[in-house]
Amino acid sequence: MGYAGLMFALDEAHVTNIASDPTRHRQGIARLLMAHIAQQAIVHKSEALTLEVRVSNTAAQELYRHFGFAPAGVRQRYYENTEDALVMWAHDIQDAAYQTRLENVMRGSATS
C-alpha cells in the first residue's frame, strides 16, 4: 500500500520518502503515512521537519502544506532525470499549534 522513511539529525527530522501504490492514490494513504512521520518526529523531540519534493509534484506539495510545510528553496537537478526538487520545511512542530494542526489534518479539516 505504501511506505515512508524518516531520518533524524540533531533537532531536525528529514522525510526521506513517502510513496503509495499508484492504484491506491487519493485514498488517504500518504496522509496517514505523513501523520505517522510527524508524530514520530514529535516523540523524538525534533523541532522541525524537512523534505524534498519534485517541483512537478503539486499534489504532494499540497499534502505537505496541510502538514505545515512551506517552500524554503530549490535543489537544482536533484533527481536522476535532472528535475529540480523543492525543499520544504515545517518548523516548531513541538508547539501546541502544530499539534492541533496535525489533529485537524487527521480529522480531514486541515487548513493550508
Active-site positions read 52, 64
**Angle at CA of residue 70, ends 78 and 50, nearest 5°:** 55
User: Distance between CA 66 and CA 63 in Å, rounded?
Assistant: 5
- What amino acid occupies position 97? A
Cell matching residue 20: 503509495
A 10 A CB-CB count for 61 gives 16
Report how far apart, in Å, the C-alpha atoms of 71 and of each of 22, 23, 50, 53, 86 are: 25, 28, 10, 10, 7
